[in-house]
Chain A
Amino acid sequence: MTAAPAGSPIDKTLTEEEIVDRLRDGMTLGIGGWGSRRKPMSVVRAILRSDLRDLTLVSCGGPDVGMLCAAGRVRTLVFAFVTLDVIPLEPYFRRAREAGELHTRELDEGMLLLGLQAAAWRLPFLPTRAGLGSDLLALDPDLRTVTSPYPGPGGRPEELVAVPAIPLDAAVVHVNRADRAGNGQILDDDPFFDQLFLGAAGQGYLTCEELVDGGPLAAADGDFRSLDVGRHLVAGVAHAPGGSHPTACAPDRARDLPFLEAYVRSAAEPDGWERFRAEWVDVPEAEYRARVAAR
Chain B
Amino acid sequence: MTARGLPEVHDHRIGAGGRVPEVHDHGGNGGRGRRRVRVADVCVLALAETFRGDGEIVANPIGVLPRVAGLLARATFEPRLLLPGRDAFLLDADGEVEGWNPYRRMFDVVWSGRRHVVMGAGQIDRYGNQNLAAIGPDPRRPARQLLGFRGAPGNTINHPTSYWVARHSPRVLVERVDVVCGVGYDRAAALGPDAARFHEIRRVVTDLAVLDFATPDHRMRLASVHPGVSVADVVAATGFELAIDADVPETPVPDATVLELLARLDPEGTRHAEVAHREREGRSP
Interface residues of A (CB under 8 A from B): 34-35, 37, 60-61, 79-83, 85-86, 88-89, 93-94, 97-100, 104, 106-111, 113, 128-136, 139, 152-154, 156, 158-159, 189-193, 196
Q: Are B145 and A129 in contact (CB under 8 A)?
A: no
Q: Give Cα A81 to B196, complex, Å.
A: 25
Decide if B197 touches A153 in the complex (CB within 8 Å): yes
Known: A129-B195, A133-B196, A158-B194. A192 touches B102 (CB 8 A): yes
Interface residue SS majority, chain B: loop
- Given the known interface contacts A81-B148, A104-B140, A135-B179, the answer about A109 and B195 at a Cβ–Cβ threshold of 8 Å is no
Alpha-carbon distance between A104 and B151 when the two chains are bound, in angstroms = 17
**Quick one: given A113-B107, A128-B154, A129-B158, are A189 and B183 in contact (CB under 8 Å)?**
no
Whether a CB of chain A sits under 8 angstroms from the CB of B32 is: no
- Are A132 and B104 neighbours in the complex by a CB distance under 8 Å? no
**Quick check: A81 and B147 within 8 Å, CB to CB?**
yes
Which stretch (B3-11, B50-58, B73-81, B246-254) binds chain A?
B3-11
A27 to chain B, nearest CB (A): 22
Pick the contact of A93 from B141, B145, B150, B156 — CB < 8 Å? B145
Contact of A131 among B8, B102, B148, B153 (CB under 8 A): B153
Let me know if B153 and A130 touch, CB within 8 A. Answer: yes
Q: Is the CB of B145 within 8 A of A89?
A: yes
Q: Are A85 and B7 in contact (CB under 8 A)?
A: yes
Residue pair B145, A193 in contact (C-beta under 8 Å): no
Rounded to whole Å, the gap between the CB of B59 and the closest CB of chain A is 19
Q: How far apart sit A158 and B191, CA to CA, in the bound complex (Å)? A: 11
Chain B interfacial residues counted at CB < 8 A: 54
Residue contact B195 to A191, C-beta cutoff 8 Å: no
Interface-central residue, A110, A136, A154, by most chain B CB under 10 Å? A110
Cα distance, A100 to B141, chains bound together (Å): 4
- Contact call A134/B181, Cβ cutoff below 8 A: yes
Residue interface bits B85-98, CB-to-A below 8 A is 1, else 0: 01111000000000
Distance A134 CA – B146 CA, assembled complex (angstroms): 16
Name the one of A109, A128, A139, A153 contacting B150, with C-beta atoms under 8 angstroms: A109
Chain B proximity of A33: nearest CB distance (Å): 10
A190 touching B145 in the complex, CB below 8 Å, given contacts A97-B134, A153-B197: no
Known: A81-B150, A110-B151, A133-B183. A189 touches B10 (CB 8 A): no
Do A89 and B147 have beta carbons less than 8 Å apart? yes
